[in-house]
Chains A and B, each alone.
Chain A
Amino acid sequence: MLSIENLKKSYREPGGGRLPILDVPRFEVGRGEQVVIRGRSGCGKTTLLNTIAGMTTADSGSVRIGEVDITRLPESARDRFRARHLGYVFQTFNLLPGFTALENVLLGMTFTGGKTDRGRAEDLLERVGLGHRFGHKPAALSVGEQQRVAVARALVSKPVLLLADEPTANIDPAHQQQIIDLLRGVCVDEEVAMLLVTHSPEVADQFGRVEQLETVNRVANGPTTSRSEPVT
């Protein structure tokens, strides 16, 4: 379902050189598969997710989701593809403060180009346990509830792949497990593949497939840094 080949990404350094961030020869995620990516801080986990989501452009290589190589799409087509086929859960939830829980979820299908299905948004909020909080704004919700809204928003457009970037990092340990259970359960129900980035070994241990970013992030050429050395 997700197939990455020879994906390279580097950033321009202040001195004029290029700092390689990603070098992924090959990486695949199957339909409905749930994969955890681990790695040290700054090793490019978020850049990998952003590149898969089409929000960051790769220097070279391909990112195929289904039959579509999103690296070949112009920006507007990548935006539309992201709206229709990908879900994104952020570490800081990123709910819009001026919108109610329901409106935040509806926002997840606003840019798909299709009709807004209010019933599905309400149904998802019910499923994440917030059926009684439709009209509440983020400031009136607990941290755990905010992340539940974010999960509902990421899934409302029926994506094929959910990208979750440290979704439990800002949540107290007591509620972390609830979010993980929720994510895994809803993704199974919705038959959505999930790529989850986490630092937490407790979270990672619950998944059948855990990839260290260094194992997929090999620097074939250019300067080698200790940060980008493969971890074996």
Chain B
Amino acid sequence: MSFWRIAWNNMKQRGVASSLTALSMALGVAAMSVVIVVYAVAVRQFSQDAQGYHLIVGGKGGALQLVLSTVYHLGQPLYPIPYSEYRRLVDGDLSDVVDVAVPYCLGDSFDPTRDPQNPSDRRFRVVATTPDLFDKLEYGTTEDGSPIRYEFRSGRNLRISRPYEAVLGSVVAAQSGLKVGDTLNPTHGISGEGDVHTEFEVVGILDITGTSNDRAVFVNIEGFYLIDDHALSDEMVEQRLARASMAPPATAAPRSDARGVLPPATLEGRTGEPLEPLAEDKREVTSVLVLCKSDLGPLVLNTQINKDPNTAIQAVAPAGVVTTLLEKIVGPIQLVLLVLTVLIVLVAAIGILVSIYNSMNERKQDIAVMRALGASRFSVMLIILTESVLISLIGVILGLLLGHAFIAAAGPYLEAEAGVRVSFWRLDPLELAIVPALLALAAAVGLLPAFSAYRTDVARALTGNR
């Protein structure tokens, strides 16, 4: 009969105590598992959100604010930059190293309830952009390193000539109930207290990306410019021209192979009527996503923009900002949660120790019988250690199942709220690493009762019971 079988029988003999001990371990492991998986999902989402392009070009100000507002649709956007700065990236002096430049105009929002009497606390940001965002940029990579492109669950991408079109992120579509063909009205400002703008028709709904874009509404940038509040006034245009005349002019001539979408000559209105696009000098952009042709491109562009004392723009590598954000904010939170769950598991492990150690008196005779049958001191010690490991193993397996069942149960909520897909079966490598660690811990806490078994005096234990 194996030691596993003997330990299993011993465990069954003290069924209630063993089960409760294993359950306490399971709860600790489940908590740890949830923290690890949720953190991994958060990190993946955070990192993935900033993939697919090298730099964000925007107005001068905080780099974190630029990244948060552009990538994560959080916080106030920075002050916008002239459209001419976008043109520098598309076909101007900065365009040599650029592969794709995608402009963003931020500042509007959308209430998924669409009920002015009963507005939602959670508004979605409206991003005015060009079709290049979905056509030419990727939003992440698969585990084997291949790029992931945007897919449409239904409908299609924006068309630059049709200004009043919108594409919805998956979470926006789920929460608003909007379908292709429906219309929505963005509100000026991100607080929801501004004017309600003209309506845009939903032409596409994105598949889940697991990024912040699931929680955004994308409208045609040409339509955004046609909204009254979004065009610069003549006075502001004059001021801007005056400032520009003091700065050195862009040196390169406009290129024919533009790196981004430029305004078409005419636009089609809702009923097909021709519309004139907003003049470029009346346009601004909040930020520009820039994908460079090579890995050297971001360095070149970074130097060209950030070392220029006369420019009003900055270039930020979002990956670096995200890493800093993770290290400085999310990392410590995860550390605290992990420490807490490690403490829970430690308490559970000590529970194993207490449970087995308290039972040592009542099982002294059993140990003496095994010794009388020829078990060595080391053998009985090993049997107790095996029991400790067995309880822990059951606790760990049950804990992983519980933790993942919880994650799977929360899956629909996470998918609807955060656009994150989680699976019952997805095990984080860190979770696999804690299994041997916990078994080692169980063996360590089992040492004390095991040593007590080791020291059992056979003759005394056998006769003492008489």
Contact = CB atoms under 8 A, between A and B. Distances in A.
Given A98-B10, A99-B9, A84 B378 contact: no
B377 A96 contact: no
B459 A97 contact: no
Nearest to A169: B466
B1 A98 contact: no
A108 B369 CA distance: 10
B13 A97 contact: yes
Nearest to B8: A98
A50 interface: yes
A112 interface: yes
A213 to B, nearest CB: 16
B366 interface: yes
B381 to A, nearest CB: 12
A55 B371 contact: yes
B372 A53 contact: yes
B9 A91 contact: no
A107 B6 CA distance: 9
B374 interface: yes
Interface string B439-466: 0000000000000000000110011011
B26 to A, nearest CB: 22
Given A96-B9, A96-B366, A116-B1, A111 B372 contact: no
Contact of A80 (B5, B9, B376, B377): B376
B462 A79 contact: no
A108 B373 contact: yes
A153 B463 CA distance: 19
A75 B377 contact: yes
A92 B1 CA distance: 23
Interface string B91-110: 00000000000000000000
B377 A153 contact: no
Contacts of B212: none
A111 B9 contact: no
Contact of B374 (A79, A90, A94, A106): A79
Most A CB atoms within 10 A — which of B6, B371, B374? B374
B84 interface: no
A213 B378 CA distance: 34
Contacts of A90: 369, 372, 462
B376 A111 contact: yes
Interface string B350-387: 00000000000000011011111111111100000000
Given A56-B459, A92-B466, A103-B1, A98 B376 contact: no
Given A55-B459, A80-B376, A110 B6 contact: yes
A88 B372 contact: yes
A92 B462 CA distance: 9
Interface of A: 46-47, 50, 53, 55-56, 75-76, 79-84, 88, 90-92, 94-99, 103, 106-108, 110-112, 116, 153, 157
Given A76-B376, A76-B377, A153-B373, 12 more contacts: A55-B372, A55-B458, A79-B376, A88-B373, A90-B372, A91-B466, A96-B369, A97-B366, A98-B12, A103-B1, A110-B375, A157-B374
18 contacts: A47-B459, A53-B372, A55-B371, A55-B458, A79-B376, A82-B372, A90-B369, A91-B466, A96-B366, A96-B370, A98-B9, A99-B9, A103-B1, A106-B1, A107-B1, A110-B373, A110-B375, A153-B373
